[in-house]
With several copies, the nearest count.
Chain A
């Protein structure tokens, strides 16, 4: 068994530096790598390009990096719950590339799986396709989209072992599995690091080969963005 466990968060983020490109798992605030983000805030590295479906909220998630103006560019599909984000974008401080959500997922998977590019119908005929190669297959139009190139992927899983095997929970799974192995270094934080051999080999969502470093996160706030409940009858 090849050991991926690191001693602490400093070791987990060893090698991060200014002007790098990072991937962050998560959808909204669900399944985001809270501990890695906190450490990046602490390190205060700048000029980052962040690939993440969303941009957090003002005071949580990637919003924390935006607050400190650590982010040069965001590549996201939806950024609608963040006032500071909007301010930086409209003022031109922040470069923003909005891309379809399925395109985002698949450009990650392409990087993970060694595909240079993919053809997707999403965005054809829209400004997303401007300047991009398009092509017809069987009477339908597709846009050529390239695999991402990232330095680090920051992933949040539910459980994992020292071999780097991962299991996700609920919709906190989202982009996390697709980003594993899609960057030069994949850093995973888990809620619970379990002994090797306790995860059923049939039930592992991401095999350890896609992971370089793993650690158990110290705390998880797991903030709920839109608490929505129904009344008991």
Chain B
């Protein structure tokens, strides 16, 4: 490829621009976890992990890890001043009660209606939904972080999801290695291109309805 598709850190860097001052944010496993590294220093944000912590800090230094302090990805973490621990029912109370402002998670497929599939490939992969179904059913503001196509080169932005759903009509925005896309009533609306990536490339990588209106600027990352 000659075009500058983003790598995982690039996607995370772009998503970090969506994180506003005063936001409580839940980050899923994978690319979403990387977002924390790129949030501006001059805004205040707190990260929630559904296993029961608010105010997560960076990973611990070697020797300072604590088996009793992990994130939802089971990684050892630290906490920042002002952090708190709580039980799982309270944690999902925060999520279901829409106290968490932004949820960023990965996906295997997203449909142009905002449906998302990310927990099961029948007969192949059955790891479970973890907290994802609660998060997508409850959050007002959901951003999906993913590659635009799967390993077989097939589009992950579809007319309709083919895999078992995680939630219906919930995704608002998608940031991929190729583009920033808004999910609208009419379909996927292209907002931004990755640097150097052509609209044609995005079009051919998008199976669902892609709406292109006006000039599509490159991401500013």
Contacts and interface: CB of A to CB of B under 8 A. Distances in A.
Nearest to A126: B165
Contacts of B9: none
A115 B81 CA distance: 30
Interface of A: 1-3, 27-31, 53, 76-81, 86, 89-90, 96, 98-106, 108-109, 111-115, 120-128, 158, 161-163, 165, 168-178, 181, 196-197, 201-202, 204-205, 207-210, 222-232
A201 B83 contact: yes
Contacts of B214: none
Contacts of A163: 46, 55, 81-82
Contact of B80 (A1, A127, A210): A1
Contacts of A114: 93, 95-98, 138
11 contacts: A1-B81, A2-B44, A30-B70, A78-B129, A100-B129, A101-B129, A122-B134, A123-B137, A163-B46, A171-B51, A228-B77
Contact of B128 (A98, A120, A175): A98
Secondary structure call for the A interface: loop
Contacts of B68: 30-31, 158, 169-172, 222
A111 B99 CA distance: 11
A171 to B, nearest CB: 5
A1 B131 CA distance: 24
Interface residues on B, range: 35 or more
Contact of A113 (B74, B93, B166): B93
**Residue among B45, B76, B164 with most chain A CB within 10 A:** B76
B168 interface: yes
Nearest to B77: A228
Contacts of B87: 105, 168, 173-178, 205
A165 B92 contact: no
Contacts of A103: 133-134
Given A3-B44, A113-B97, A171-B51, A126 B164 contact: yes
A125 B167 contact: yes
Nearest to B92: A102
Interface in B96-121: 96-100, 115, 119-120
Nearest to A109: B89
B65 interface: yes
Contacts of A171: 49, 51-53, 68-71, 85
Given A27-B51, A224-B67, A209 B46 contact: yes
Contacts of B129: 77-78, 98-101, 123, 128
A201 B85 CA distance: 6
Nearest to A163: B82
A89 B68 CA distance: 29
